[in-house]
C-alpha cells in the first residue's frame, strides 16, 4: 500500500527526506524498531551483569575488582549456606522485616482505605497527608526518624512519657533496632498500600454490597464475605509490589544504622549484608553468592504470590 | 448508603490520628531545621522556639548543597527524558504486539537486587574511566526509570482504543505516523504520570550514587548520608539538609497529585 506517498503529498514539508523504502522498512519492522533501544539497554545493563554475578559466585574473587580470580565451583555456596554467624541471621532478619511490615501495612492499609472509601469533607487534605511520606526521600526519612528516636532528645520518648511509659532505646538497642526500622518502613509505605487498596475499592461494583445490605448483613459480615473476597486480587498485588521492595529495603537501614547494619549487625538484612560484602569488604565471590540466593528468595516468593493471585481471581 | 453517627465520629477520630501520625514527623523535622542546636536539646522549646535560618545558610553555603541540588536535578531530569525516549515506544510495541515476554525482561529490572548489578557496573565503568561521571549516574538511574515507565505506559496504551489509530491509517498515515500524530498526543497524561514518577524515584535514589558518584557528582541523598559520617551529629544542619531534599519533591507531588497517585496504583486493579 502506498500510504507513505499519500502522506508525503498531503504534507509535502514533513517526511520528504525519508525515502519510501526506508519508511516502508521502518513501518514494517516497527515492532522491533520501537522495542530495540529499551531491550538493548536492558540487555547490556542487566543481562550481562547478572551473568557476571553468576560467574563471580563460582570464583574466589576478592580485594580489587580487577584482581585475578579463579574458579572454585560451588565452594562459596557451601561457605555461605553453612555460615550461621552472618548469613542465616541476615536471612531471618530479612524475612522478619518483610513479613512484619507486610502484615501491619496490609491490615492498617485496608483499615485506612475503608475509612477513606466513601466521600467526606476534608477528603482532599487527608489524601495529601497520605501522599507526603510516600514521596519523601528515604535517606532523609531515615535521618528524620533518627532524631525522633534519639534516646535522649527524641520526640518518641517524650510522647511515651505522656502515657507514663519509660524511655526506650529504639534504634540504639540491640533488640529494638530492627522493630524500630520496621516502624519507619510502616510509616513511609502504609500510604502506598492505602492508595492501591483504595483504587481497588473504588472500582468495586455496588450491587453485591447493596444486596448484602438488603439481606441485613452487618458491617463485619459485609467486609468478611463480600469486600474481602472481591478485593483479594488487589490485596495480593499490593503485597507483591510492597513485598519486592520490602525484601530489598536498604536506604532506611543504611541511613539509620550505617555499615553492616550496626555494630552488632542488628539490622543487617540480606541486601545490607550483600552491599557490605561488595563495597565495604570487597568480598566479591561471597557477595555474588549471597545475591544469587537472595534473588532466588525474591523470585520464589513472587512466584508463590502470583500463583495465589491466579487462584483468587 | 447513609452512615450512622457513631461511625462518623469514629471515622473522624481515626482519620485525625492517621493524618497526625503521617504529618507530625515531617513537621518535627522542619521545626528542628529552624532551631539552634541548643534549642533542639531543650525539651521545653519543642514548639515554642525562635526560628532561625542559621542551619540553612550553613548547609547551603558551607556544605556546597547548591551543587548537590543541581547534580540531583540534572541526573533526575536527564535519566527521565532518556528513559521516556526509549521507554515510551518500547511500551507501545509491547502493548500493541502483546510482547509479554519482552515486557517481563524489562520488568525484571525491578526485581533484581541493585547490588548485584553494581559490582559488574563498577568494574566496567571504572575501566572506561566513567565512574564518578554524570553519564554513569544517568545510566544507572535510567535503570530505575525505564521499567517504571514501560510498566505505566504499557497499561496506558492497553487502555487506548485501537479505532483511532485504525482510522488514521485509513486516512493515509503510516503506522509510525499514526503513533506520532495520534497516539502520542493522546498519551500526554500517561507520559506525564510516568515522567513525574520516574523523576521522583531518581531524585530519591540512594544506592547507585553512593557507589558510582564522585565528589563533584554527588547527589542529595548521598550528601545527607555523608553528613553523619563524622563524630557528633549536627542535628540542626542534618534536618535542614533533609528538608532541602524532601520539600521540593513533596511540592511537585502535591501539584501533580493526580498523576502521582495514578502512577503508583497503575495496574493494581487489573486482572
For B39-76, the pLDDT digits (tens) are 888 777 777 788 899 999 988 888 788 999 999 999 99
**Chain B closest CA to A234's CA: distance in Å?**
6
Mean pLDDT of A47-68: 85
**Chain B closest CA to A288's CA: distance in Å?**
7
Q: Are residues A129 and A35 in the same domain?
A: no
Residue A163 belongs to a domain: yes
Which chain B residues are Cβ-neighbours of A285 within 8 angstroms? none
Which residue of A lies nearest to B16 if distances are taken between CA atoms?
Answer: A126
**Chain A closest CA to B186's CA: distance in Å?**
18
For A222-275, the pLDDT digits (tens) are 899 999 999 998 999 899 999 999 999 999 999 999 888 888 999 999 999 999
CB contact under 8 A, A53 and B120: yes
CB pairs under 8 A between A and B: 281
For A149-166, the pLDDT digits (tens) are 998 888 899 889 889 998
Which residue of A lies nearest to B11 if distances are taken between CA atoms?
Answer: A115
Q: Between residues 153 and 212 of chain A, which touch chain B (CB distance below 8 Å)?
A: 153, 155, 158, 187, 191-192, 195-196, 198-200, 203, 210
CB contact under 8 A, A271 and B115: yes
Question: What per-residue confidence (pLDDT) applies to B229?
Answer: 66
Q: Are residues A53 and A125 in the same domain?
A: no
Residue B11 belongs to a domain: no
Residue A184 has pLDDT above 80, yes or no: yes
Question: What per-residue confidence (pLDDT) applies to B135?
Answer: 93
% of chain A beyond a pLDDT of 90:
55
Which residue of B lies nearest to A256 if distances are taken between CA atoms?
Answer: B225
Q: Are residues A238 and A97 in the same domain?
A: yes
Domain holding B174: CATH number? Answer: 1.10.3720.10
Residue A42 has pLDDT above 90, yes or no: no
Residue B1 has pLDDT above 80, yes or no: no
Q: Are residues A132 and A33 in the same domain?
A: no
Residue A22 belongs to a domain: yes
Which chain A residues are Cβ-neighbours of B261 within 8 angstroms? 127, 131, 195
Residue A53 has pLDDT above 70, yes or no: yes
Residue A32 belongs to a domain: yes
For B20-43, the pLDDT digits (tens) are 999 999 999 999 999 988 888 877
Q: Between residues 89 and 108 of chain A, which touch chain B (CB distance below 8 Å)?
A: none
Optimal mutation site among A33, A137, A244, interface B, most CBs of chain B within 10 A: A137
Q: Are residues A250 and A178 in the same domain?
A: yes
pLDDT-derived band at B104, boundaries 50, 70, 90: confident
Residue A21 has pLDDT above 90, yes or no: no
Residue A68 belongs to a domain: no
For B138-155, the pLDDT digits (tens) are 999 998 899 999 999 998
For A75-128, the pLDDT digits (tens) are 999 999 999 999 999 999 999 999 999 999 999 999 999 999 888 888 888 989
Q: Does A138 touch chain B (CB under 8 A)?
A: yes
Residue A76 belongs to a domain: no
Residue B39 belongs to a domain: no
Q: Are residues A124 and A190 in the same domain?
A: yes
Mean pLDDT of chain A: 88
For B208-223, the pLDDT digits (tens) are 999 999 888 999 999 9
Residue B46 belongs to a domain: no
Q: Does A305 touch chain B (CB under 8 A)?
A: no
**Chain A closest CA to B50's CA: distance in Å?**
18
Residue B96 belongs to a domain: yes
Domain that holds residue B230: 64-264
CB contact under 8 A, B257 and A203: no
Given B26, B115, B126, which is nearest A132 (Cβ)?
Answer: B26
Residue A240 belongs to a domain: yes
Which chain B residues are Cβ-neighbours of A126 within 8 angstroms? 15, 18-19
**Chain A closest CA to B217's CA: distance in Å?**
18
What are the CB-based long-range contacts (under 8 Å, 24+) for A208-217?
A: A210/B1, A213/B1
Mean pLDDT of chain B: 89
Residue A69 belongs to a domain: no
Domain holding A219: CATH number? Answer: 1.10.3720.10
CB contact under 8 A, B142 and A41: yes
DSSP string of chain A? --HHHHHHHHSTTSTTSS-HHHHHHHHHTHHHHHHHHHHHHHIIIIIHHHHHHHHHHTB---SSTTS---B-TTHHHHHHHT-TTTHHHHHHHHHHHHHHHHHHHHHHHHHHHHHHHS--TTHHHHHHHHHHHHHS-HHHHHHHHHHHT-TTT-HHHHHHHHTTPPP--GGGSTTTHHHHHHHHHHHHHHHHHHHHHHHHHHTS-SHHHHHHHHTT--HHHHIIIIIHHHHHHHHHHHHHHHHHHHHT--HHHHHHH-GGGSTT-TT--HHHHHHIIIIIS--HHHHHHHHHHHHHHHHHHHHHHHHHHHHH-
Question: Which residue from B80, B79, B71, B88 is spatially nearest to B196, judged by alpha carbons?
Answer: B80
Residue B70 belongs to a domain: yes
ipTM for the whole complex: 0.92
Residue B105 belongs to a domain: yes
Number of domains in chain B: 1
Question: Which residue from B187, B108, B153, B161 is spatially nearest to B263, judged by alpha carbons?
Answer: B153
Number of domains in chain A: 2
Which chain A residues are Cβ-neighbours of B38 within 8 angstroms? none
CB contact under 8 A, B235 and A26: no
Residue A73 belongs to a domain: no
pLDDT-derived band at B195, boundaries 50, 70, 90: very high
Q: For A283-313, what is the HEC assignment? A: CHHHHHHHHHHHHHHHHHHHHHHHHHHHHHC
pLDDT-derived band at A43, boundaries 50, 70, 90: confident
Domain that holds residue A118: 81-312
Which chain A residues are Cβ-neighbours of B255 within 8 angstroms? none
Q: Are residues A93 and A42 in the same domain?
A: no
CB contact under 8 A, B177 and A199: no
Q: Does A275 touch chain B (CB under 8 A)?
A: yes
In terms of phi and psi (left: phi > 0; alpha: psi -120 to 50; beta: otherwise), the region of B129 is left
Amino acid at each position: 500500500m502506498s500510504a507513505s506517498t499519500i502522506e508525503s503529498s498531503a504534507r509535502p514539508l514533513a517526511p520528504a527526506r525519508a525515502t519510501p523504502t526506508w519508511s516502508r522498512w521502518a513501518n514494517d519492522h516497527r515492532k522491533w524498531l520501537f522495542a530495540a533501544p529499551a531491550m538493548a539497554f536492558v540487555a547490556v545493563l542487566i543481562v550481562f551483569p547478572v551473568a557476571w554475578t553468576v560467574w563471580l559466585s563460582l570464583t574466589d574473587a576478592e580485594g580489587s575488582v580487577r584482581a585475578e580470580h579463579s574458579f572454585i565451583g560451588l565452594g562459596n555456596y557451601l561457605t555461605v549456606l553453612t555460615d550461621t554467624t552472618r548469613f542465616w541471621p541476615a536471612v531471618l532478619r530479612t524475612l522478619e522485616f518483610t513479613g512484619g511490615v507486610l502484615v501491619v501495612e496490609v491490615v492498617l492499609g485496608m483499615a485506612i482505605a475503608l475509612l477513606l472509601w466513601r466521600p467526606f469533607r476534608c477528603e482532599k487534605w487527608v489524601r495529601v497527608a497520605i501522599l507526603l511520606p510516600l514521596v519523601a526521600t528515604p535517606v532523609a526519612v531515615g535521618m528524620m526518624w533518627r532524631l525522633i528516636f534519639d534516646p535522649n532528645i527524641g520526640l518518641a520518648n517524650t510522647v511515651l512519657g505522656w502515657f507514663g511509659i519509660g524511655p526506650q532505646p529504639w534504634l540504639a538497642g540491640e533488640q529494638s533496632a530492627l522493630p524500630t526500622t520496621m516502624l519507619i518502613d510502616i510509616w513511609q509505605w502504609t500510604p502506598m498500600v492505602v492508595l492501591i487498596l483504595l483504587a481497588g475499592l473504588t472500582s468495586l461494583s455496588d450491587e453485591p454490597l447493596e444486596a448484602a445490605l438488603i439481606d441485613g448483613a452487618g458491617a463485619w459480615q459485609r467486609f468478611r464475605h463480600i469486600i474481602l473476597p472481591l478485593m483479594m486480587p488487589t490485596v495480593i498485588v499490593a503485597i507483591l509490589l510492597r513485598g519486592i521492595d520490602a525484601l530489598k529495603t536498604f536506604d532506611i537501614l543504611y541511613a539509620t544504622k550505617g555499615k553492616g547494619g550496626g555494630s552488632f549487625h542488628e539490622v543487617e538484612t540480606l541486601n545490607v549484608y550483600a552491599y557490605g560484602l561488595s563495597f565495604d569488604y570487597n568480598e566479591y565471590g561471597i557477595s555474588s553468592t549471597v545475591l544469587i540466593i537472595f534473588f532466588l528468595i525474591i523470585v520464589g516468593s513472587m512466584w508463590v504470590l502470583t500463583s495465589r493471585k491466579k487462584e483468587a481471581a | 448508603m447513609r452512615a450512622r453517627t457513631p461511625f462518623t465520629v469514629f471515622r473522624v477520630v481515626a482519620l485525625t490520628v492517621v493524618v497526625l501520625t503521617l504529618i507530625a514527623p515531617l513537621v518535627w523535622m522542619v521545626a528542628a531545621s529552624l532551631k539552634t542546636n541548643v534549642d533542639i536539646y531543650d525539651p521545653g522549646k519543642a514548639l515554642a522556639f525562635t526560628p532561625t535560618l542559621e542551619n540553612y545558610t550553613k548547609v547551603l553555603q558551607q556544605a556546597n548543597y547548591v551543587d548537590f541540588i543541581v547534580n540531583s536535578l540534572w541526573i533526575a531530569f536527564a535519566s527521565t527524558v532518556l528513559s521516556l525516549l526509549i521507554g515510551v515506544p518500547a511500551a507501545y510495541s509491547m502493548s500493541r504486539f502483546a510482547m509479554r515476554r519482552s515486557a517481563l525482561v524489562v520488568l525484571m529490572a525491578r526485581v533484581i537486587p541493585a547490588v548485584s548489578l553494581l559490582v559488574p557496573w563498577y568494574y566496567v565503568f571504572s575501566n572506561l574511566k566513567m565512574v564518578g561521571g554524570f553519564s554513569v549516574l544517568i545510566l544507572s538511574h535510567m535503570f530505575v526509570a525505564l521499567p517504571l515507565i514501560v510498566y505505566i505506559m504499557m497499561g496506558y496504551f492497553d487502555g487506548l482504543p485501537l479505532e483511532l489509530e485504525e482510522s488514521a491509517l485509513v486516512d493515509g498515515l503510516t503506522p509510525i505516523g499514526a503513533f506520532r500524530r495520534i497516539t502520542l498526543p493522546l498519551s500526554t497524561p500517561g507520559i506525564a504520570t510516568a515522567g513525574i514518577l520516574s523523576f521522583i524515584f531518581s531524585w530519591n535514589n540512594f544506592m547507585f550514587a553512593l557507589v558510582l558518584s564522585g565528589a563533584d557528582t554527588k547527589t542529595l541523598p548521598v550528601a545527607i548520608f555523608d553528613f553523619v559520617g563524622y563524630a557528633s551529629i549536627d542535628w540542626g544542619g542534618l534536618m535542614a539538609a533533609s528538608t532541602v531534599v524532601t520539600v521540593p519533591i513533596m511540592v511537585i507531588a502535591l501539584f501533580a497529585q493526580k498523576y502521582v497517585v495514578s502512577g503508583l496504583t497503575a495496574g493494581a486493579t487489573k486482572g
